[in-house]
Structure 1
Amino acid sequence: MNRRVFALALSVGLGLFLAPRLALAENHVGEAITHTKQAIEHGKMGHADVLVTHAQEALKHANAAEKEKANPHVKEGITHLDQAIEHGKMKHADVATTHAEEALKHLEAAGK
């Protein structure tokens, strides 16, 4: 009986310890999605500089999410955010927007 109680207590404790880490990773993905959507919105208006600002913020959150819990979709989203930033800095709003849209697809897949 004592072993069962100990095993149950250990399982619950471990679950409570890991739960906040998973929640933080999901929160970072959510923030990355929000900023990526804003980057796309501004990119479609031709505002490459504002696109870069939001893509950089999305990248910070995506990197934090990847650090907390590795995910191939987040990793691919990071790659496209990097490209969006690079092209946005060159004032190529259309190409940057395309990369931001691709990043969004991957980040949304990671958030599910």
Structure 2
Amino acid sequence: MKVISTTITITIAIGIFPFFLNTQVYAEDTDHRAEAIQHAEKAIKQGKMGCAEELLIHAKESMEHAQAASNSGADSHMKQAVKHLEGAIRHAEMHRAGAATNHTKTAMSLMQESESTH
């Protein structure tokens, strides 16, 4: 009887373990997604004021978090958002705040649509 009880306990533990791992990955994905959106909002605000330098700082931060979310299992929307953030960074480096802001707006919209694939 003790062997059966131990076997059942081990089976349950093995079955639950992947759930906890998946939950942690999901949490990382959503944390990075939230940070990416927050920095994109700040970048857009700076871009609307014509400040390409500040936009650049926040677009880079947003991209780092968007890439991390993508690597943690976010869907294709996040991958597309990263591409738009790359465009925003290129334009901001050329002091084109308007174009950089437009790319960042598109990226933010995609990040908001993004969901975890876990």
TM-score of the pair, normalised by structure 2: 0.86
Rounded Cα–Cα distance in structure 2 between residues aligned with 1:82 and 1:104: 13
Rounded Cα–Cα distance in structure 2 between residues aligned with 1:70 and 1:108: 11
TM-aligned CA deviation for residue 71 of structure 1 = 1.6
What CA deviation, in whole Å up to 9, does each residue of 1:43-95 have, x standing for no partner? 00000110000000001111111111142010000000000000011111111
Percent of aligned pairs sharing the same letter:
32
SS at 2:114's partner residue? Answer: helix
The answer to whether the Cα contact below 8 Å between 1:39 and 1:54 also exists between their aligned partners in 2 is yes
Rounded Cα–Cα distance in structure 1 between residues aligned with 2:75 and 2:39: 19
- Alignment partner, residue 41 of structure 1: 45
The answer to whether the Cα contact below 8 Å between 2:39 and 2:61 also exists between their aligned partners in 1 is yes
Answer with 1 or 2: which has the greater Rg: 2
Instruction: Spell out the pairing of 1:11-26 with structure 2 (5 A cutoff).
Output: 11-26=15-30
Q: In the alignment, residue 82 of structure 2 is paired with which amino acid?
A: I
TM-aligned CA deviation for residue 104 of structure 1 = 0.3
Rounded Cα–Cα distance in structure 1 between residues aligned with 2:32 and 2:48: 24
TM-aligned CA deviation for residue 4 of structure 1 = 5.6
Mean CA deviation greater in 3-12 or 74-83: 3-12
Count of residues paired in the alignment:
112
Structure 1 gaps, min length 5: none
The answer to whether the Cα contact below 8 Å between 1:30 and 1:111 also exists between their aligned partners in 2 is no
**Partner residue of 1:87 out of 85, 91, 115:** 91
Rounded Cα–Cα distance in structure 2 between residues aligned with 1:67 and 1:86: 22
**Partner residue of 2:80 out of 54, 65, 76:** 76
CA RMSD of aligned residues (A): 1.7
Structure 2 gaps, min length 5: none
